[in-house]
């Protein structure tokens, strides 16, 4: 983790981090499943819940060095603190922005309905910082980077799913979405119609 952080903060754009130093998503999950119980603190399994809880602290243990990093609650993080949300956004940005897919500068985030405005704002800033660092140096175009809040997670799902079902543009479609995941139960209901 120290090696990753050292590389991460060396440059503002596309640092030369090593994938073996810090994993996320499916790779991290596979490593967790196959790890010893003594390494459990080396994995963050409730990142979303930590961000949404104003009082929850985190401890991260570096597997290779045994050093423990203590993190404040998400809203209390300052600019020079380790921000796991920013690091996660950095990795997502590396997956999205590359020589095969191109460079994308417009992002819309959705949030659980229970997240208050301060948490949403800090998430937006954290994602922007991580995505910015994932990009190559694109000069003045970096000013076009946009990370904005969209609708709630269930409403986002509804808008995509209902379109995929091939609904007609002149129809009113009643829907109800219940999202039982990530430690919260989010819901959204309404009438879907094309603008």
Q: Of the candidates 90, 41, 45, which has an alpha carbon nearest to the alpha carbon of residue 69?
A: 41
Look at residue 69 in the predicted model and tell me its pLDDT.
84
The parts of the chain modelled with pLDDT lower than 70 are 26, 32, 38-43, 168-170, 181-187, 194-195
Q: Hey, how many other C-beta atoms are within 10 angstroms of the C-beta on 132?
A: 18
Question: Are β-strands 58-61 and 68-71 bridged in parallel, bridged antiparallel, or unpaired?
Answer: antiparallel
Look at residue 168 in the predicted model and tell me its pLDDT.
64
């Amino acid at each position: 983790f120290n090696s990753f952080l050292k590389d991460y903060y060396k440059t503002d754009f596309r640092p030369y981090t090593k994938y073996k130093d810090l994993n996320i998503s499916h790779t991290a999950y596979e490593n967790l499943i196959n790890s010893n119980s003594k390494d459990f603190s080396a994995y963050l399994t409730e990142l979303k819940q930590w961000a949404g809880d104003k009082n929850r602290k985190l401890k991260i243990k570096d597997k290779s060095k045994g050093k423990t990093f203590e993190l404040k609650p998400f809203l209390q993080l300052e600019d020079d603190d380790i921000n796991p949300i920013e690091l996660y956004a950095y990795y997502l940005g590396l997956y999205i922005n590359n020589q095969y897919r191109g460079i994308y500068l417009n992002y819309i985030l959705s949030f659980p309905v229970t997240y208050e405005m301060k948490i949403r704002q800090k998430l937006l800033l954290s994602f922007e910082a991580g995505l910015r660092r994932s990009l190559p140096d694109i000069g003045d175009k970096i000013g076009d980077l946009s990370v904005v809040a969209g609708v709630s997670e269930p409403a986002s799902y509804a808008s995509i799913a209902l379109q995929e079902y091939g609904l007609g543009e002149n129809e009113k479609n009643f829907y109800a979405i219940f999202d039982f995941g990530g430690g919260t139960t989010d819901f959204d209901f309404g009438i879907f119609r094309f603008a």
